[in-house]
Structure 1
Amino acid sequence: MHTIQEQDQIQIAVTGTLDNGAVFMENGVDDPLVITVGSGTLPPSVEARLIGKSIGDIVKARVSPDEGFGPRLKDLLHKIPRSHFQERTIPKPGMLISQKVTKDGIEHTVPATVLEVDESTVLVDYNHPLAGHHLSYTVNIMAIEAPRGQTINYGQQ
């Protein structure tokens, strides 16, 4: 039976959860995720645990914030004047907004989450929503394809 190797393309059913049980990612058996092992689609330690596994195997892995989306950084919290927002866009806590920022002379559009709104300012968080969280993955291996140009001989070692 073929086992997963680096650069194999695989189909997986994957569920990602936070420590509180909240699901942040889910691709079930009816809508599998197709990845190339080693491409960085999943965190490196999760992809590394897939090596040597076979169809039907279930892999569980817990990822630290450093390997996931990084720690929550206080310097990514910014107060923006409420006047910056157009009349038709009334920011509310929890709202996801896009903001233009300039870094190294290049303008980027980045997402931010509105945390607080008062009379004159809006507190926004530019951290990734999953930053600072441990992430748990459960991966069910559904299919394995060899890298392009190679053949898998099922039933042979």
Structure 2
Amino acid sequence: MSAVIEKGSKVTLHFSLKLDDGSLVDSTPPEKPASLIIGDGNLPEGFEETLLGLSAGEDRASRIPPEKAFGMPNPNNVQRIPRGSFASGVELEEGLVMSFSDAANSELPGVVRAFDDEAVEVDFNHPLSGRHLIFEVQILDVQTP
């Protein structure tokens, strides 16, 4: 009997992550599956729930609600930054993803939502927050803890 995925299992799999309209957000290349440990905090709750109980050779597709994926957008994560804070040569455009440093000097991605001569509105929410996602997996190997 093959091993079943449980908390602490090391899992090797192929996955694809899609939006509700079917457009692909992320996936593993055919020659390079992903490996992960269930419960190590690297996967959102809804993704881990999809994997629990599966064995090598099984496939599953699940629709993950935002609350169990990347959360709902937080209005406090949208900030207006003075235009002068940006280097003069930076060409701003809506949807541009930029890297910022937070108070701890960690890198934080932000998406330019709007801008004028005075300020730039930057959204620091996860780009997939508020979205329902389709998580498709193909389990290749399971090693129990």
Could you state the TM-score of these two structures normalised by the residue count of structure 2?
0.86
**1:8-61 CA distance string (max 9 Å, x none):** 212101001111222222014421110112223333233233233222111222
Displaced runs of 4+ in structure 1, greater than 3 A? Answer: 106-109
Q: Across the two proteins, how many residue pairs are aligned to each other?
A: 144
Tell me if structure 1 keeps the 8 A contact 2:45–2:69.
no
Q: Distance in 2 between matches of 1:2 and 1:135?
A: 29
Extract unaligned runs of 5+ from structure 2: none
**Given the alignment, which residue of 116, 121, 125 partners 1:123?**
121
Quick check: 1:73 aligned with 2:74?
A: yes
Q: Distance in 2 between matches of 1:138 and 1:45?
A: 12
Extract unaligned runs of 5+ from structure 1: 148-157
Tell me if structure 1 keeps the 8 A contact 2:113–2:122.
yes
Q: Distance in 1 between matches of 2:101 and 2:42?
A: 26
The answer for the alignment partner of 1:142 in structure 2 is 140
Tell me if structure 1 keeps the 8 A contact 2:5–2:11.
no
Aligned in 2, Cα 1:4/1:38: closer, same or farther, shift over 3 Å? Answer: farther
Once the two structures are aligned, what percentage of the paired residues are identical?
Answer: 28
Could you state the TM-score of these two structures normalised by the residue count of structure 1?
0.80
Tell me if structure 2 keeps the 8 A contact 1:43–1:63.
no
The answer for the alignment partner of 2:62 in structure 1 is 61
Q: Distance in 2 between matches of 1:65 and 1:47?
A: 14
Aligned in 2, Cα 1:108/1:146: closer, same or farther, shift over 3 Å? Answer: closer
Quick check: 1:5 aligned with 2:10?
A: no
Shifted more, 90-99 versus 46-55: the winner is 46-55
Q: Distance in 2 between matches of 1:116 and 1:130?
A: 19
